[in-house]
Structure 1
Amino acid sequence: MTFTVFLSRLARRLVRPLSTTKVKMAGVGGAVPATAGAAAVIDGATTLNYISAFRLTSKDNQSSAVLGFEDNFWLWSVEAGFDLTHPPTPSSDPVEPRLTLQCALTPITVDPAKTALLIIDMQNYNLAKELGNHVKAYHDAEDNILKYAIPAARKTRIQIIWLTWGLTEADLEQMDPGVLRTFGWHSVRLDQPPPAPRPGEGARKDGERMNDKGLGEEIGEVTLENGTTVEGGRILMQGTWNAELHGPLAQAFTAGQTASRQDVRFHKNRNSGMCDKMTALTEYLEREQIKTLLFTGANTDQCVMGTLQDANLKGYDCVLLKDGCGTNSPEFAQLSAEYNCLRSWGFLSTCKDLATAAGVEVKNSSK
């Protein structure tokens, strides 16, 4: 059996027969058929008790649909794209206020009250030029976050969440070896002679060498651009200079403490801030009833995507703002993340599109 035939048979199984019961969809227009047993009529009103995990509205009417289940569903129409406002039921009145954001394949509509902008790992450790960080993609992302994403979030009262590495002694004691390798080793080209081994260390030919410093080790004194010096602190430990938000972003966070919707910050000890080992952010999102997450930060293909993928698997709506993300990986890593966020992991948009949706001036229209 060919792969094409397999997909065809699978699709026929997923698309279920539909009854003629109607469910009016807020903001979509008209009514769509519901699956058998999905709706109940109470006092003449149609209410939805269950929504199948996947369905088309009908074979002859594919202009609107409901996707999901009772506690987590989207509305869709050809004209409006995907409605991610999460009303109580598909027949509820449209959620207001709402914000329509243009994405790569389709527009989406979100409820600002249920939306958060995540700014991930934009710290001195990654961005400070005093530490030799000259990755243009990081600083381009920083500019777009400051000029467009943050002002748009402030104007529409989207929650801003700063998610950064911030280790404790307890974290170091329980750190997985894979994480230690990420920060403590670097690649060496196999076609080049290896560097001289350290005293007591035999030469290795595995293509990796230990860094001089790893997680929790002292950086030492750092000379800033203005000539003053600071203690860099232990790598990515809470309260150190290297783990603090980078200059202008730190100022934005401080300003956010008096915003109408106060900025919040969470520390993490893994690439993902929403993995099973990191529950504080997830608990906050559940408590605040936030459903939609807009992702920015560094590195796109590592900590940003790691958090985005965990969020997606937990049922959150995920949008990657590609011009607010940067990586020091090869270009194909950024492109792969963007490609997979077109549909598989959520939606793909930009900080500039968010600003446009919020009515924030965008001086340069190029994406």
Structure 2
Amino acid sequence: MTTSSPTTVPTSGLVSEPIPLHDTPILGMTSRPYVQRATVYGGTVDVEGAAGFWVEYPDGLMDLTRTHLVSSDEGLPGVKNGNSAEAGKDEKPPPLDVKTQVEIDVEGTPKRRIRVSKEKSALVVIDMQNFFLHPDLRNHPGGLACVQPLIDAIPKMRDMEMKILWVNWGLTDHELKTLPPALARSFRKSGGGGFGSQMPGKFGRLLMRDEYNSALYGPLQTEYETGKAKGTDIWIHKNRMSGLWGYQSALDLYLRENGIKTLFFAGVNTDQVR
């Protein structure tokens, strides 16, 4: 059996540190050294003709706008290309287009920032519903601790002209008949209840549309209503653990129809969207 050892990447002005051979742009983004040349990740064209790549620059910028490809000889629609792979050596980031793009700082050492397209980015807030957060239904201090940071962050994301997508459980009676058995069983407690069952008091039927237990928790419902009136916030129902569980789910359709390519995730179940 063979094993691989970490690779040390020397950097000017920074202490070298070992990083895994298979490190990814995100996993080590807050700690690994800057790259030595402009580096492209991806470089493919998806089925809709959009360029699927990121570019990382030696100054700590990760460009997710997919508008400037620096290390490919092959042309991509709507993308500026460098002359060759060697172009990345001295390549500097293109100027920020403040009308269509925004940069966001990423905490870590060394400091980094990401650049995204405003109209192609969205904040996805997952399952911040009474069923998961209301103190009368469960003790979830970690989930409740997410509420105020979200209320602080959402207006700033709106100011950046990004959409706010509230992805929530909201079943119909027809969908109750089409749920996979394993999923239906997972929400039954002690052999009873489950999706569509009557909950105590005012909470209504479990995770059904327009019931109180399916509403957003406390001030988040008000925050959503504020954004809905502004045209920035969208409510998207899901009927599986994941909002992207299959082709043409409600979330998948919205993202495709609106050309959204970059997602920021928040909420109590951020693993249940993809």
Query: Is TM (by shorter chain) over 0.5?
Result: yes
Q: How does 1:82-231 map to 2 (within 5 A)?
A: 82-87=62-67, 88-91=78-81, 94=95, 96-97=97-98, 98-104=102-108, 106-131=112-137, 133-147=138-152, 149-185=153-189, 209-210=190-191, 212-221=192-201, 231=202
**Aligned partners of 2:175 and 2:164: how far apart in 1?**
25
The 3 A distance-change label for structure 1 pair 281 and 94 is farther
What's 1:2 paired with? 2
CA distance change for structure 1 residues 115 and 101 in 2, over 3 Å: closer, same or farther? farther
SS in 1 for 2:272: helix
**Equivalences for residues 26-41 of structure 1 within 5 A:** none
Unpaired runs of 5+ residues, structure 2, are 8-34, 46-50, 68-77, 83-93
CA distance in 1 between partners of 2:116 and 2:204 (Å): 41
Percent of pairs with identical residues: 31
For the residues of structure 1 that align with 2:188 and 2:140, how far apart are their CA atoms? Answer: 20
- Counterpart in the other structure of 2:39: 65
Q: What residue is the counterpart of 2:48 in the other structure?
A: none
Residue among 253, 258, 268 paired with 2:229: 258
Which segments of 5 or more consecutive residues in structure 1 lack a partner in the other structure?
Answer: 9-60, 186-208, 222-230, 311-367
CA apart distance, 1:95: 5.4
Shift of 1:141: 0.4
Offset of 1:100 from its aligned partner? Answer: 2.5
**Aligned residue for 2:86?**
none
Distance in structure 2 (CA, Å) of the matches to 1:62 and 1:291? 27
TM-score normalised by length of structure 2: 0.72
Structure 1 CA distance, aligned partners of 2:96 and 2:245?
A: 30
Q: Report how far residue 107 of structure 1 moved.
A: 2.7
> CA distance change for structure 1 residues 104 and 237 in 2, over 3 Å: closer, same or farther?
farther
CA distance in 2, matches of 1:279, 1:94: 37
3-state secondary structure, aligned to 2:119: helix
**1:91: Cα distance to partner?**
4.1
Equivalent-residue separation in structure 1 for 2:183 and 2:247 (angstroms): 13
Alignment of 1:43-62 (within 5 A): 62=36
Letter of the aligned partner of 2:79 in structure 1? T
Amino acid across the alignment from 2:253: E
Q: In proportion to residue count, which structure has more helix?
A: 1
Q: Deviations over 1:337-365 (max 9, x none)?
A: xxxxxxxxxxxxxxxxxxxxxxxxxxxxx
Partner in structure 2 of residue 298 of structure 1: 268
Secondary structure of residue in 2 paired with 1:75: strand
Quick check: 1:74 aligned with 2:47?
no
Contact 2:116 2:262 survives alignment (8 Å): yes
210, 216, 240: which one aligns with 1:245: 216
Q: Post-superposition shift, 1:169?
A: 1.1
TM-align CA RMSD: 2.5
* CA positional deviation for 1:110: 1.5
CA contact under 8 A between 2:238 and 2:250: conserved in structure 1?
A: no
**Structure ID, larger Rg:** 1
Q: TM-score, normalised by structure 1?
A: 0.54
Matches of 1:297 and 1:253 in 2, distance apart? 14
Go from structure 1 to structure 2 and tell me whether the alpha carbon gap of 1:268 and 1:285 turns closer, same or farther (over 3 Å shift). same
Report how many aligned residue pairs link the two structures: 216
